[in-house]
Structure 1
Amino acid sequence: MTGTHAEQPALDGLAPRRRRKRAPAEKTPADHDPIARVIIDVQATHLGRTFDYLVDDKQDQDARPGVRVRVRFGHKLLDGFIWERASSSDTPTASLRFLERVVSPRVVLSTQMRQDITRVADAFGGTRANIIRVAVPPRSAKVDREWSPGDKAVASRGIELEALLAEPVFKGLSRIESTYSSARALTQALDSHSYAQVVWDNLPGPRLWAKDLAWAVAHTLMHGRSAVVVLPDMRHVADLARCLASYGLRPYAPSSSGNGIWSGDVATLGASMAPELRYRSYMAVATGAVRCVIGVRAAMYAPVEGNALFAIVDDAAYQNADGLMPYANARDVLRLRAQAHGGTFLVTGHARSPQSQWDVDHDSRVVEVTANRAAAKDLTPWTRWLNREELMRLAEPALGARVPHVAVSVINRALKKGGPVLLSVPHRGAGTVLACSRCRRQARCRRCSGPLRGMPGAAPQCLWCGAAAVDWTCRECGGERLYGVRVDAEGTMQELQGLFRGVPVMISTPNQPRGIIEDVAYKPQIVIATPGAEPRVVPIRGMASETNGYQAVAILDAWTSLYAPGIDARVDALTAWMRAAALCVPRTLGGQVMLIGESDPALAQSLVVWDSRILATREVAERTETVLPPSVTAAVVWGDRAAVMTLLDRIGALSGDFSVIGVPSAGGGTGDDTGSENAVDAADVEEWPAVLGPVEIPVEPGLNRQLDGVTDRVRALIRVPRGRGGELAERLRVATAKHVASRAPGELRFRINPKDVL
């Protein structure tokens, strides 16, 4: 009784007992390589190095390079990865801490992956922790519990997979050889055991690009190699997955028997995936259980081994640029990895980027795959550019209409043939034009015939020459009143209601409640879609498979391509137009594509003849003349004005060796400093300022200008010869690290090889 009453106050909380602290368990350093050099999950630039920790004797077997660990850093417990084991450290042993624990004995980062991460970090001026943050998915304890150290991961289905792919790959090769030039050089590049680069311009046709790419992937897998494909969005991922399935390649998924075992040939990686699924797919690739990876930007870090295929679709797409420091670009990452692995770097798509054109022009080893003339004639739809000059030649009665009579006639004939028609319109906000309220014809400038737009509280203004339209009157009917025509899907639908009565009209755009429509049936209907939201056509049961496209495609408001900001504006426009036109049936089935409105002649001609080299060559020439990428390596620096100016001074861009850049004079060669035969003599080089700017970054509307860090923000562009890109990245990293370490005030950031330099 006495003992019981003595414990009662403690149970009531009146007199809590003090627990004696346990003495920390004694730890003994491992006998062999007791030092673990760890990359810690700290994103600060000045802490971008390894930190040494002691490995306990009990952790020796599990603490291998590439495993995930927990360590003490200051007063915090943080995640990290063992980068390597060492026998000694520059830090005195008495000052070293032990690893807190090995989170999992699974090797997440192989030796080759660690080397790749280091190369990417160096190329973009970041740290290895920056890359690991986006490359390695968060751990799933459930997935790790399902794995045992005794398991042996083998390539998916091994010999069985190679036998499965042999016949369909051979049949696919016959189609490739009859359709594209340089087919033999393409197969040699795919089979090469050293670095090779391929630039492949796809022909139009619903999912034809996916069929071509699926063949290249299957060919690679058949020879026992791995493949990584980065695509611009998940719709492209679904299209490629469907074509890979036609080769018998199964998606990585749970077994249908319900035993919890996952298997398959194709894994999908994406940052938006559920954490458990993404980690499971990542580890399946890391262990070699899956050799084919497809996905969006995050797939560029797929942990494949050996001389794999590294492919990218539409390499100039804005989705390829990472939004986190160091802002790595998927194209550059895949190329770096292909070079390091001795693999094949494949760039494919409908529109060729200036970067790919530069590679073709300056490296004779690049394999250029283009369509045969006969195949191009049969597979492409009949394409016309209905600009003002062409409409006048055709005696168009509604010359100023947004949808002229010529286009209305083509659409009506396509509907009568029983097929759907696609109208591609710009994204909302791309522009709003004015039209006559009496005859509905588009209002045009008296000076240059450009479209007019409304200006709040002012006279309408021309989008081409900027002239004010004072006392405007319609040339057709003499009307004096204007109304706004919205250049978007909803506005187009309202405009078409009076032109095509009784015809179903649907809208596919992310801005509407229904969202993007994935598929539409092959029947008379009009589909209005913004770029990237075009539905695929599904043939009606019993009809030929050729009816899996639109009978006609009309690309409206081509004039918006003249005013889009950004250095890649024309390339982006051509990519969007070619994607839409590729969904049309070929001319042999009556397919027609109409580009309606004024545009750049090189841009329009590239679409009409289906040869993106026209625009790509023009872009390269103009950028070389203006000293812009890809003729040089560039970096954008932005932030507080004082911080930006200090950084420019530290890297030698104001008065040092980075202050000027050599530009070849007229007829002086290519300016390529990579040691090629076309290298320029010193006498043929003119010196230009290497820095453009700094220019003020406008404050966003509604933002309080008195907020700290937004009152004086600027942007500057630094240009260096292509051969000094790595040196520029290192100088920027060191200068930024000094800024952060010294706790200097103000924002300071930089990006190597940005998509937009202005």
Structure 2
Amino acid sequence: MNNRAEQLALDGLAPRKRRRRTPAEKIPAARMPIARVMIDVQATHLGRTFDYLVDEKSSEAAQPGVRVRVRFGHKLLDGFIWERAEHSDTPSSSLRFLERVISPRVVLSKRMREDVTRIADMFGGTVANILRVAVPPRSAKVDREYVAGDKSLKRRSEELSAMLADPDLKGFARIESSYAGARELRDALNSKTYANVVWDNLPGPRLWAKDLAWAVAHALMIGRSAVVVLPDMRHVADMARSLAAYGLKPFAPSAAGNGVWSGDVATLEASMPPELRYRSYMAVATGAVRCVIGVRAAMYAPVEGPALFAIVDDSAYQNADGLMPYANARDVLQLRAGEHGGVFIAAGHARSPLSQWQVEHERHAIQLHALSAVAKDATPWTRWLNREELSRLADPAIGARVPHTAVSVINRALKTGPVLLSVPYRGSGTVLACAKCRRQARCSRCAGPLLQMPDSAAQCRWCGYAAVHWTCRECGCDRMRAVRVDAEGTLRELQGLFHGVPIMVSTPNQPRGIIEDVAGKPQIVIATPGAEPRVVPMRPAPGGEAAGLSSTYQAVVILDAWTSLYALGIDARIDALTAWMRAAALCAPRTRGGQVLLVGEADPALAHSLVVWDPRILAAREVEEREETVLPPTVGAASVWGDRRAVMTALDRIGALTGDLAVLKIDDTDRADDVGDTDDAGDTDEDMEWPAVLGPVPIAPELGLNRTLEGSQDRVRAIVRVPWRRSAELAKRLRVAVCTHVAGREPGELRFKINPKDVL
């Protein structure tokens, strides 16, 4: 002992040794002592529940659906109790107690836990993968507030039906007089059985939101919940405004400033502040708020019962989750509607191929399409100014980017209101096209787009097949040419065409960004798809008449239609029609002089769908072509990508190379089983057979700072196709293959996606 310690001991000031506290003895609960916990572990091979003991003191709080903390290995992790049980297959000596119940509030109801499990199985992921996106992080502050706030919110929810009275008086009369199938939709909303509805919206500023708001208000009036998934926050704002017309208030703090939240419509979005997102989520989970709107994350809204599940522009790329297992909002909502006995609505101006395929094959699918007389008066006068039409009009500027006919229409429209010029996204790329008819060059084996290879024949981007002795399907020409799609310089060129006219540019690529609203006065607005400003009527001058009362564009000009011929995605034409119709919907109807011009060459089915405002034309053509080429939605499919060796091993493990999935067999029975229609089964004498796998084809290496990133040099992608009735089996086999790959610590990247939007 040193001198300092000796002196302290003599003075009686030596520090006391701390006694170690004996941990309180935990006693297993007398009833249901086992908690099966879904832990927040994203590894695919650990995607299951793990058993833990429940202490008697926390047994009452440790209910299924609550958030808990457990020890997993050497770490403390969060998780959810999935269920309670009397016994466990795990040896009692290996069981640990729950560390603690983080909150006694039930975050996941039984119905929600079942939905999450089915979604994970559908996409070949784990429950933990879905929970990571579906359930927001906990806020202790919100949990404390809800103890006092639940009752007041629930009272508001109970008052909702009485407040809405009869929304039919506000909206249904207009909808019934505009759309065929309106009564079938109302009957479906009133019933307690599943219904699939495809709604082709009429043009008009925010008219789609007004139509869908009626369906939401009707569902709330009869005591049901409603979930609406929208492509972006601009659409969310439009939907909230239309719901407000029925007296539905957004979920927000009360005006009294007492910290109490109230409202009827909650917004769920992944980028929301954590506290706000958790507050909105819990308001829906407790049944206090029954209407949810938002972007992709809203598909996991914890609603109960036969709710209304709706999506707008279901083919939009924003609907696909970017995290494993890459769930798609449309598939999730339709799955939940079927399990809940609710109604699923796919609304939008353009109709997706999947909606068209279901309409053609499902017995009880409901279509809402505009009546002919109404569509004629509500739509603008639309013309397709391709080379043939310009020749017929003897246009002196044939071949110009903006022909003389379009300039004349723009100048006339500027006398009474604003004009919208829709231009393609900025960017460039090189594709192969027929040297004679200029149509995109397609593979003779799978109809995929062809890619120019450096020192060899052109190669298919989808299946890797070499395009030897290629001929064009349209004109028979055997020569190809490279076409460079470049939209740079578009804005400067258009600004130089009209002098003395105010010009505004709305695009995410400029410092000012997207312009939300413009005044309804003569001016030109140049915008890229999705960035079109809304038109706001000008206020009248004091003591005088309004300078302009227009809430629409007098003319909409869609430039560079030819770029749609060379887009690479399988949904390229549908995406183009969606963008064109969205812009054209902002134009005044023909009864008020509104005109839409489509300038440039385009696919005839695509252009005709816009001209007559009938998305069924292109959707039916898409389904017909995909049946011929055996591509989704006529079959189930999965995209598998990663290291070449890992991909080939996975394909072999699932039986796609030499096993029972190696050959794709399709007959009428396969096409009808999944949609409940077998009346025509057996019409063909023999099954049609194709190779199940397309590819693998190389993926471009990922580039870092002037060098290729390590591990990205030999990456490939393959497509596996199966009949729809085997889609769930394919997802399960791929999940097992990835589990084997990860658990065995095999080298290389390996990922997959079920029902991808693009088979590239």
- Please confirm whether the aligned pair reaches a TM-score higher than 0.5, indicating the same fold: yes
Contact 1:549 1:585 (C-alpha < 8 Å) held by counterparts: yes
Q: Distance in 2 between matches of 1:702 and 1:322?
A: 25
Residue type of the alignment partner of 1:638: W
* 1:595 maps to which of 573, 576, 598: 598
Residue type of the alignment partner of 2:519: A
Please report how far the alpha carbon of residue 400 of structure 1 lies from its aligned counterpart in structure 2 after TM superposition.
1.2
SS for the counterpart of 1:751 is: strand
Counterpart residue number, 2:241: 242
Contact 1:35 1:86 (C-alpha < 8 Å) held by counterparts: yes
SS for the counterpart of 1:271 is: coil
Counterpart residue number, 1:58: 57
Q: Does residue 647 in structure 1 map to residue 646 in structure 2?
A: no
Residue type of the alignment partner of 2:611: V
Alignment deviations for residues 6-62 of structure 1 (CA, whole Å, 9 cap, x no partner): 289999xxx987644322211011111000000000000110110000001110111
Q: How does 1:708-723 map to 2 (within 5 A)?
A: 708-723=710-725
Distance change in 2, residues 1:369/1:449 (3 Å): closer
Structure 2: tracts of 5 or more residues without a match: 441-451, 453-476, 541-545
Q: How does 1:109-124 map to 2 (within 5 A)?
A: 109-124=108-123
Counterpart residue number, 2:633: 630
SS for the counterpart of 1:595 is: strand
Q: How does 1:361-372 map to 2 (within 5 A)?
A: 361-372=360-371
Please report how far the alpha carbon of residue 374 of structure 1 lies from its aligned counterpart in structure 2 after TM superposition.
1.1
Q: Distance in 2 between matches of 1:445 and 1:661?
A: 31
Please report how far the alpha carbon of residue 161 of structure 1 lies from its aligned counterpart in structure 2 after TM superposition.
2.0
Q: Distance in 2 between matches of 1:596 and 1:356?
A: 28
Alignment deviations for residues 42-83 of structure 1 (CA, whole Å, 9 cap, x no partner): 000110110000001110111000000000000000000000
Distance change in 2, residues 1:190/1:468 (3 Å): closer
Q: Does residue 532 in structure 1 map to residue 535 in structure 2?
A: no
Q: Distance in 2 between matches of 1:293 and 1:216?
A: 13
Counterpart residue number, 2:680: 678
Counterpart residue number, 1:38: 37
* 2:613 maps to which of 607, 610, 615: 610
Counterpart residue number, 1:586: 589
Q: Distance in 2 between matches of 1:416 and 1:10?
A: 99
Q: Distance in 2 between matches of 1:571 and 1:623?
A: 13
Please report how far the alpha carbon of residue 181 of structure 1 lies from its aligned counterpart in structure 2 after TM superposition.
0.7
Counterpart residue number, 2:665: 662
Q: Distance in 2 between matches of 1:192 and 1:343?
A: 8
Counterpart residue number, 1:325: 324
Q: Does residue 551 in structure 1 map to residue 549 in structure 2?
A: no
Counterpart residue number, 2:506: 508
Distance change in 2, residues 1:157/1:7 (3 Å): farther
Residue type of the alignment partner of 2:502: P
Q: How does 1:489-508 map to 2 (within 5 A)?
A: 491-508=489-506
Contact 1:10 1:17 (C-alpha < 8 Å) held by counterparts: no
Q: Distance in 1 between matches of 2:745 and 2:705?
A: 25
TM-score, length of structure 2 as denominator length: 0.90
Please report how far the alpha carbon of residue 499 of structure 1 lies from its aligned counterpart in structure 2 after TM superposition.
2.5
Residue type of the alignment partner of 1:299: A
Contact 2:29 2:55 (C-alpha < 8 Å) held by counterparts: yes
Please report how far the alpha carbon of residue 167 of structure 1 lies from its aligned counterpart in structure 2 after TM superposition.
4.0
Q: How does 1:438-457 map to 2 (within 5 A)?
A: none
Please report how far the alpha carbon of residue 130 of structure 1 lies from its aligned counterpart in structure 2 after TM superposition.
0.5
Q: Distance in 1 between matches of 2:627 and 2:170?
A: 42
Counterpart residue number, 2:579: 576
Please report how far the alpha carbon of residue 166 of structure 1 lies from its aligned counterpart in structure 2 after TM superposition.
2.5
Q: Distance in 1 between matches of 2:329 and 2:16?
A: 60
Counterpart residue number, 2:282: 283
Contact 1:432 1:487 (C-alpha < 8 Å) held by counterparts: no
Which region of structure 1 is more displaced relative to structure 2, 734-743 or 683-692? 683-692
Contact 1:430 1:560 (C-alpha < 8 Å) held by counterparts: no
Contact 1:153 1:288 (C-alpha < 8 Å) held by counterparts: no
Q: Does residue 560 in structure 1 map to residue 559 in structure 2?
A: no
Q: Distance in 1 between matches of 2:549 and 2:301?
A: 36
Contact 2:697 2:718 (C-alpha < 8 Å) held by counterparts: yes
Q: Distance in 1 between matches of 2:35 and 2:71?
A: 13
Q: Does residue 752 in structure 1 map to residue 754 in structure 2?
A: yes
Q: Distance in 1 between matches of 2:11 and 2:735?
A: 62
Q: Distance in 2 between matches of 1:304 and 1:544?
A: 47
Q: Distance in 2 between matches of 1:567 and 1:254?
A: 45
Contact 2:670 2:725 (C-alpha < 8 Å) held by counterparts: no
Please report how far the alpha carbon of residue 487 of structure 1 lies from its aligned counterpart in structure 2 after TM superposition.
2.0
Q: Distance in 1 between matches of 2:277 and 2:12?
A: 49
Distance change in 2, residues 1:54/1:545 (3 Å): farther
SS for the counterpart of 1:225 is: coil
Counterpart residue number, 1:727: 729
Please report how far the alpha carbon of residue 93 of structure 1 lies from its aligned counterpart in structure 2 after TM superposition.
1.6
Q: How does 1:178-189 map to 2 (within 5 A)?
A: 178-189=177-188
Residue type of the alignment partner of 1:658: L
Contact 2:123 2:753 (C-alpha < 8 Å) held by counterparts: yes
Counterpart residue number, 1:478: none
Please report how far the alpha carbon of residue 711 of structure 1 lies from its aligned counterpart in structure 2 after TM superposition.
2.3
Counterpart residue number, 2:298: 299
Distance change in 2, residues 1:445/1:570 (3 Å): closer
Residue type of the alignment partner of 1:212: D
Contact 1:45 1:737 (C-alpha < 8 Å) held by counterparts: yes
Q: Distance in 1 between matches of 2:165 and 2:733?
A: 50
Contact 1:70 1:100 (C-alpha < 8 Å) held by counterparts: yes
Q: Distance in 2 between matches of 1:447 and 1:629?
A: 30
Alignment deviations for residues 183-235 of structure 1 (CA, whole Å, 9 cap, x no partner): 11010111120111110000000000000011110011011100000000000
Q: Distance in 2 between matches of 1:142 and 1:4?
A: 52
Please report how far the alpha carbon of residue 283 of structure 1 lies from its aligned counterpart in structure 2 after TM superposition.
0.2
Contact 1:153 1:287 (C-alpha < 8 Å) held by counterparts: no
Please report how far the alpha carbon of residue 501 of structure 1 lies from its aligned counterpart in structure 2 after TM superposition.
1.1
Contact 2:153 2:262 (C-alpha < 8 Å) held by counterparts: no
Which region of structure 1 is more displaced relative to structure 2, 655-664 or 88-97? 655-664
SS for the counterpart of 1:351 is: coil
Distance change in 2, residues 1:8/1:585 (3 Å): farther
Contact 1:539 1:548 (C-alpha < 8 Å) held by counterparts: yes
Counterpart residue number, 1:334: 333
Q: Distance in 1 between matches of 2:435 and 2:291?
A: 58
Alignment deviations for residues 362-386 of structure 1 (CA, whole Å, 9 cap, x no partner): 0120000000111101110000000
Q: How does 1:170-569 map to 2 (within 5 A)?
A: 170-417=169-416, 419-430=417-428, 466-467=480-481, 487-488=487-488, 491-542=489-540, 547-569=550-572
Please report how far the alpha carbon of residue 516 of structure 1 lies from its aligned counterpart in structure 2 after TM superposition.
0.3
Please report how far the alpha carbon of residue 704 of structure 1 lies from its aligned counterpart in structure 2 after TM superposition.
7.4
Residue type of the alignment partner of 1:723: R
Q: Distance in 2 between matches of 1:686 and 1:377?
A: 43
Q: Distance in 2 between matches of 1:497 and 1:350?
A: 30
Which region of structure 1 is more displaced relative to structure 2, 213-222 or 681-690? 681-690
Contact 1:647 1:735 (C-alpha < 8 Å) held by counterparts: yes
TM-score, length of structure 1 as denominator length: 0.90
Please report how far the alpha carbon of residue 319 of structure 1 lies from its aligned counterpart in structure 2 after TM superposition.
0.3
Contact 2:428 2:486 (C-alpha < 8 Å) held by counterparts: no
Q: Distance in 2 between matches of 1:130 and 1:526?
A: 47
SS for the counterpart of 1:123 is: helix
Overall identity of the aligned pairs, in %: 72
SS for the counterpart of 1:107 is: coil
Q: Distance in 1 between matches of 2:9 and 2:577?
A: 82
Distance change in 2, residues 1:487/1:708 (3 Å): closer
Contact 2:203 2:379 (C-alpha < 8 Å) held by counterparts: yes
Residue type of the alignment partner of 1:428: R
Alignment deviations for residues 713-742 of structure 1 (CA, whole Å, 9 cap, x no partner): 111100000111111111111111011111
Q: Distance in 1 between matches of 2:318 and 2:744?
A: 34
Counterpart residue number, 1:475: none
